[in-house]
Amino acid sequence: MKKLDRSFYNRDTLIVARELLGKYIIHKTRGKKLIAKIVETEAYKGAIDKAAHSYQNKRTPRTQVMFGPPGHAYVYLIYGMYLCMNIVTEEVDKPCAVLLRAVEPIEGLDEMAQLRFNKPYEKLQKSQRINLTNGPGKLSMALNIRREENGIDLCKDKLFICEANTASNFQIGKGKRINIDYAEEAADYPWRFYIKDNPYLSVKE
């Protein structure tokens, strides 16, 4: 599979968020290779986006990675317990990112099941299989994405994103982003993108 290069991420965030759908995220961790297909994303447009951590170019120790080069991971904690993985986009000092909201497990399912539920994949109930990676905190846990991955270069060889081996046809839906009611008018921006009818979506359409 061909790894995405820096130029892929150094574009308008809405384009990147849409075109990440169907791509494969790969994490080499714990002696395993975990692979999942990206099926749902959300775009965050930095300085102009009241839902973004970097709204009005707010630069803090947490958001610093967003101001750096595109193609790096921005990993942060929510609710004091869940990690979310974002991908930094656009040029340096334009602090934009794409949140990975949901992925479909492809390879390393036993390892993902152990990380999420402490049991092998074959022992999971049907509901647990669907809930393996259908949310930003869930996918980070299943793919073993930790705070240590914050700032990692996605153009290197540990955590990265690739083109799919074969062309796949799917319909793309879009809608409002999730759980950002605080963001005033930005809460209504249709900046969430997803593969229609995929069973691993975080929100059923």
pTM greater than 0.75 (yes/no): yes
For residue 68, CA distances in Å to 35, 60, 73, 93 come to 26, 13, 10, 6
Query: Per the CATH hierarchy, to which homologous superfamily does domain 6-195 belong?
Result: Methylpurine-DNA glycosylase (MPG) (3.10.300.10)
- List the Cα angle 40/45/48 in 5-degree steps: 145
Q: Kindly state the helix (H) or strand (E) to which residue 136 belongs, with its residue range.
A: helix 136-142
Q: How many angstroms separate the CA atoms of 189 and 141, rounded?
A: 28
Could you give phi then psi for residue 85, rounded to 5 degrees? -105, 130
Residue type, 90: E
* 69-96 pLDDT, tens digit each: 999 999 999 888 899 999 999 999 999 9
* 117-167 pLDDT, tens digit each: 999 999 999 999 999 999 999 999 999 999 999 999 999 999 999 998 776
